[in-house]
Structure 1
Amino acid sequence: MSEVQEFDAIIVGAGFAGVHQLIQFRKLGLKVRLLEAGGGLGGTWYWNTYPGARVDSENPIYQFSDPELYKDWNYTEKFPGWREIQQYFEYVDKKLDLSRDVSYNSRVVSAVWDDTTDRWTLTTEAGDVYRVQWLSLCTGIGSKYYIPPYKGLDSFKGEVHHTSRWPTDYDLKGKKVGVIGTGSTGVQFIQEIAPVVEHLTVFQRTPNLSLPMKQTKLDLEEQKKLKEYLYPIQFGRRNQTFSGYLHDLDMKPTLEATLEERVLNYEDKWEKGGFHFWIGSYGDIFFNQDANDVAYAFWRDKTRARINDPEMKDKLAPMKSPHPFGVKRPSLEQNYFEVYNQPNVALVDVNKTPISEITPDGIKTSDGTEHKLDVLVFATGFDMVTGGITSIDIRGQDGVPIKEKWVNGVRSYLGLGSATYPNMFWIYGPQSPAAFSNGPSTIEFTSEWIADCIKHCRENKISHIVPSKEAQDAWSEQLQQIASMGLWMGAKHSWYMGSNIEGKKVEILQFPGGVPAYYKAISDSVAKGYEGWTLKQATA
């Protein structure tokens, strides 16, 4: 075993959350180390470099709100792609010299708490050992990719790739490609490669109720003007809207609007693009089925008009919604539905003809058809929200791994920490708003909350802080109660509910009450003397 390295704090993960946490911990004067499994900053944008990968949050709010950072940075597109986001992280790194406090290619495999010393001992895959007082998990919601255990996968003679581990400069031109999965990644990937491959076969379980991105180029001079006045207003507005975006839900009930009012509202949101039609329109689509049906009918008719073949219309935009609209995060597309008008693109509905096995030459479905392929691509997503944490062997005061404790359901307090795991926090993870919000919006104030908590403990000679079981049970129950009032369970296969992973507990994994309510909850705990937390005074 290597020599133990002593730090005040360890951060795991170098995406937006990990970088912001590193900045905050530096301000506290902590001796800190950030451990990153990859070879660079960026988190999900380090790993997800497949053709078409781009963010679905529009700028300027998909960046840090620090004027010292945004004043010299300009994106070229409203929805930047992975290359430009990587360039942004390189810019931030150079500006703040972050890498001097980062250990790259350092995957954490275990974290064990010692209650006698109030310290965590972390071990990496390479055998490096760290002992720290504070542990911040910034592993994100999509760090553990998932490939279903298909029969015969090892027999396939062609190439197999998961989108989150895409090979550099890989060319699909002229190849017969099969794509399993039509989530957000699948939509982006499919629309990008369809024009260049010889033939594309898409295997779809659930139609993606994608919305038009309405991508635009950004003007440099206009951005400079906005920074002088509007950027601070826009960044301040993020914490006031339900989802942390600049647009907000309309609380007027859908069916109280006249037909004319409703259609004009929908048309306006549709033309604005992005998530405006989803989380910038009538808010009762999340809990009123009749309202949801009206929204789906508008989406359906808009989408079917773009598809030529009647059978393809029914596969991609069926007359009856496959699940309530909006209870699965929609993808943003640019020409996804037009792709299926191409003669070289086929769509297989695996509900009607399931995949029976992977053969040496391709994929065989239950009707006996063998789809010949050169390349098989899994756009099958991740063990979302919890996978990044449960993939680490984390043992707290009772020595029980957190993965075992969460088998029957996630338990946390405020989506920040869990009982019996002192001095351990996470950002943008289980039971926080996470993907119900724009990432940087909730990441920043959560990161600041954790830094302020550590500052409070240091100033008041508190050696550890941990959620009480009663507080965590109450918070977890509150989440499920909020979810039960909505239509979330209407989606059979949803990573929002954990139901995309076989055997995983089906439950709401993120806080569905909105960003302002979450911000108030974590702020109220502090105002009441860290209510719900147990604080241990340090011995002399």
Structure 2
Amino acid sequence: MGSAKDHLDVLIIGAGFCGLHTLNKLRKSGFSAKIYERSSGLGGVWQANRYPGARVDIETPAYQLSDKELWQDFDWGERYPGRSELLRYFNHVDKKLGLSKDIEFNTTVVSSRFDESRQLWCVKTDTGLSTSTWAKYFILCTGFTCTKYIPEYKGLDKFKGIWHHSALWPEDTVDLTGKRVAVVGTGASGVQIIQTIGPHVSHLTVYQRTPNMALPMRQCSSSDEKINDGTKWTFPKKDEYERIFQKMRTTFAGIRVDFTPQKFQDATPSERRALYEDIWAYGGFSFWLANYIQTLFDQEANDEAYGFWCEKTRARIHSEEKKELLAPMKPVHAWGTKHPSLEQSYYEVFNQDNVDIIDVRESPIIEMTETGIRTEKEGVIDFDVIILATGFDTRTGGMLNIDIRNGQGKSIQQHWENGIRSYLGMMTNSFPNLFWCYGQHSPAAFSNGPHCGEVQGDWITELLLNMRETGREVVEAEKGSEDAWGKNIKEMWHASLYPKTESLYQGNNIPGRKPEPIYYFGGIPAYVAALKNSKVNNYQGFDFK
């Protein structure tokens, strides 16, 4: 089993933004650290996102690490980079920092237990080795979109054509040209797939449960500042980067834009219209996150924002029937309380004669057959390929896929059976020296991943340095601090319009799942203030041994 002398200071799980940044910080601080990564390369979710049209929805240069050593000699080619460019960036990061030498690829962690006698985590993987890895600190950088959700469709195993989940797209190209294709699901992956393959397949049928209130991406390349609809967006110059990264620390989502300071109720109708037009033209998440913040709390403000979105979107759709399916006059939920996706030609694709849409709330999927999909009203429609863009189990994430047990043998799944418990969205009571980043009870899904990962990775590194300097060996969250953090999250959540909507934010995007607020809804500045408050008060809220 190895001796305590052979242990690592820190074992990190996951080689995405959070894991890579944290590994770099810890190594520079003199800790022995490694990453175990289940895939064959760097990039986290971008190793898995191979489906047609996969690209990020945070614009350049925000979606990258803020280390000048990394960005000063890397140039992005698109406002919203695609998968290949993101992998090029991760290779650049590795070349600059030499991280791969401390990463074990194709290694999936299956269990970990805290040994109280040694005060170490004993971690086992699926590599078939009889030995275990011992680590003083165990950090999970597994994210919240690594547990795919595949509905239990009757007969799926009988389908004789090709089927793939968007998160399990094969490495080899799937030729969809001239094929009859079904896409089940219209979340972010579904939107990107639909707009990409629609012009090339012989026929596309989209199975939609909830309309995606998607926003125009306004994509452009570095060689063409003119965006496809005639508006303009300029690539920031390198001498602007530091100012941009500083601003991101002050915005709700850790991106370049933030809510307008004016209150919705204090603005005149003409002022509100002018703001809507301006942030709509800017593109991306601006209409969501540079709008009036009251839009997410006040029904009147929300209705007006939805009305504007509906007006702009319906104007792009020709069929009256499809208008009502894709952008109904009466919203199915409050605007912005599901994560809006960014699109380039999503609505125009539905104007094609070869693209149909089925509302599965009105006509549920009954089963998959040998040749296609049977719904209640349409009967069986035959397909060559079925694509399941049915999303992720965000409550489980990657963290709860691992059998993690404390010194008393209690699993974290048992600890959270009545709801998630954490302090600062990074630690939980009775699980010593266990941390996680960009996951439950942190800003995660409400924030820019690289930025959130830097905030948390820096804070964890500072805590471990403090413990090393003061001779403290073990830390865990106090139960009382867990209670207070959970209460804070619930109060913010239930003051908003979000609880009324089935979404990944509260886990009930999975049918039958009991809703609970999974992420911190206070924004990056308030989260950073909470971290700082704990630190300056000798890491208040944590118990040291």
TM-score after normalising by structure 2: 0.95
Match of 1:260 in 2: 270
Q: Does 1:227 align with 2:228?
A: no
1:26-66 C-alpha deviation (Å, 9 max, x unpaired) = 01211111000000000010111111110000111111111
Residue 240 of structure 1 aligns to a residue in which SS? coil
Match of 2:544 in 1: 535
Q: Does 1:125 align with 2:126?
A: yes
In the alignment, is the contact (CA less than 8 A) between 2:48 and 2:168 conserved in 1? Answer: yes
Match of 1:432 in 2: 442
1:326-383 C-alpha deviation (Å, 9 max, x unpaired) = 1111000001011110011110000100001111111000125111111111101111
Residue 463 of structure 1 aligns to a residue in which SS? coil
Instruction: Give how far 1:437 is off.
Output: 1.0
Instruction: Give how far 1:504 is off.
Output: 3.0
Match of 1:376 in 2: 386
Q: 1:161 aligns with which of 145, 160, 164?
A: 164
Residue 237 of structure 2 aligns to a residue in which SS? helix
Instruction: Give how far 1:216 is off.
Output: 1.1
Match of 2:181 in 1: 177
Q: Label 1:502 to 1:163 Cα distance change in 2 as closer, same or farther (>3 A).
A: same
Match of 2:220 in 1: 216
Instruction: Give how far 1:481 is off.
Output: 0.8
Residue 481 of structure 1 aligns to a residue in which SS? helix
Q: 1:509 aligns with which of 518, 524, 544?
A: 518
Counterparts of 1:29 and 1:390 in 2: how far apart (Å)?
Answer: 30
In the alignment, is the contact (CA less than 8 A) between 1:408 and 1:505 conserved in 2? Answer: no
AA aligned opposite 2:443? P
Residue 164 of structure 1 aligns to a residue in which SS? helix
What is the count of residue pairs matched by the alignment?
A: 534
Instruction: Give how far 1:107 is off.
Output: 0.5
Counterparts of 2:265 and 2:345 in 1: how far apart (Å)?
Answer: 31
RMSD of aligned alpha carbons: 1.7
Counterparts of 2:151 and 2:278 in 1: how far apart (Å)?
Answer: 40
Instruction: Give how far 1:435 is off.
Output: 1.6
Match of 2:230 in 1: none
1:446-477 C-alpha deviation (Å, 9 max, x unpaired) = 10000011111111111110001111111011
Q: Does 1:65 align with 2:66?
A: yes
Match of 1:520 in 2: 529
AA aligned opposite 1:364? R
In the alignment, is the contact (CA less than 8 A) between 1:211 and 1:333 conserved in 2? Answer: yes
1:400-425 C-alpha deviation (Å, 9 max, x unpaired) = 11122223211110001111111111
Instruction: Give how far 1:256 is off.
Output: 2.5
Residue 211 of structure 2 aligns to a residue in which SS? coil
In the alignment, is the contact (CA less than 8 A) between 2:313 and 2:327 conserved in 1? Answer: yes
Counterparts of 2:262 and 2:95 in 1: how far apart (Å)?
Answer: 47
Counterparts of 2:376 and 2:224 in 1: how far apart (Å)?
Answer: 54
Counterparts of 1:2 and 1:387 in 2: how far apart (Å)?
Answer: 30
Unaligned ranges ≥5, structure 2: 226-232
Counterparts of 1:471 and 1:248 in 2: how far apart (Å)?
Answer: 30
In the alignment, is the contact (CA less than 8 A) between 2:61 and 2:236 conserved in 1? Answer: no
| Aligned sequence identity (%) | 45
Match of 1:88 in 2: 89
Q: Label 1:132 to 1:187 Cα distance change in 2 as closer, same or farther (>3 A).
A: same
Match of 1:316 in 2: 326
Instruction: Give how far 1:253 is off.
Output: 2.4
Counterparts of 1:398 and 1:308 in 2: how far apart (Å)?
Answer: 62
Match of 2:229 in 1: none
Match of 1:496 in 2: 505
Q: Label 1:50 to 1:313 Cα distance change in 2 as closer, same or farther (>3 A).
A: same
Aligned pairs (5 A) from 1:276-291:
276-291=286-301
Counterparts of 2:110 and 2:474 in 1: how far apart (Å)?
Answer: 23
In the alignment, is the contact (CA less than 8 A) between 2:36 and 2:108 conserved in 1? Answer: yes
Match of 1:407 in 2: 417
Match of 1:458 in 2: 468
AA aligned opposite 1:188? Q
Match of 1:446 in 2: 456
Match of 2:368 in 1: 358
AA aligned opposite 1:173? T
Instruction: Give how far 1:200 is off.
Output: 0.6
Residue 387 of structure 1 aligns to a residue in which SS? coil
Counterparts of 1:132 and 1:293 in 2: how far apart (Å)?
Answer: 52
Q: Label 1:533 to 1:209 Cα distance change in 2 as closer, same or farther (>3 A).
A: same
> Which 10-residue stretch deviates more, 292-301 or 116-125?
116-125
Residue 50 of structure 1 aligns to a residue in which SS? coil
Residue 367 of structure 1 aligns to a residue in which SS? coil
Counterparts of 2:537 and 2:374 in 1: how far apart (Å)?
Answer: 60
Instruction: Give how far 1:429 is off.
Output: 0.6
Q: Label 1:274 to 1:220 Cα distance change in 2 as closer, same or farther (>3 A).
A: closer
In the alignment, is the contact (CA less than 8 A) between 1:16 and 1:42 conserved in 2? Answer: yes
Unaligned ranges ≥5, structure 1: none
Counterparts of 2:431 and 2:13 in 1: how far apart (Å)?
Answer: 16
Q: 1:144 aligns with which of 121, 143, 147?
A: 147
AA aligned opposite 2:380? E
1:281-314 C-alpha deviation (Å, 9 max, x unpaired) = 1110111011000000000010000000001000
Q: Label 1:500 to 1:225 Cα distance change in 2 as closer, same or farther (>3 A).
A: closer
Match of 1:326 in 2: 336
Counterparts of 2:394 and 2:406 in 1: how far apart (Å)?
Answer: 23
Match of 1:200 in 2: 204
Counterparts of 1:427 and 1:220 in 2: how far apart (Å)?
Answer: 37
Match of 1:467 in 2: 477
TM-score after normalising by structure 1: 0.96
AA aligned opposite 2:160? K
Residue 425 of structure 1 aligns to a residue in which SS? strand
Instruction: Give how far 1:255 is off.
Output: 3.3
Residue 432 of structure 1 aligns to a residue in which SS? coil
Counterparts of 2:335 and 2:410 in 1: how far apart (Å)?
Answer: 39
Match of 2:252 in 1: 242
Counterparts of 2:54 and 2:119 in 1: how far apart (Å)?
Answer: 42
In the alignment, is the contact (CA less than 8 A) between 1:155 and 1:360 conserved in 2? Answer: yes
Counterparts of 2:234 and 2:515 in 1: how far apart (Å)?
Answer: 44
Instruction: Give how far 1:139 is off.
Output: 0.1
Instruction: Give how far 1:224 is off.
Output: 9.8
Residue 462 of structure 1 aligns to a residue in which SS? coil
In the alignment, is the contact (CA less than 8 A) between 2:437 and 2:457 conserved in 1? Answer: yes
Residue 505 of structure 1 aligns to a residue in which SS? coil
Instruction: Give how far 1:252 is off.
Output: 2.2
1:179-212 C-alpha deviation (Å, 9 max, x unpaired) = 1100011001110000111111110000000000
> Which 10-residue stretch deviates more, 502-511 or 341-350?
502-511
Match of 2:9 in 1: 8
Counterparts of 2:322 and 2:410 in 1: how far apart (Å)?
Answer: 50
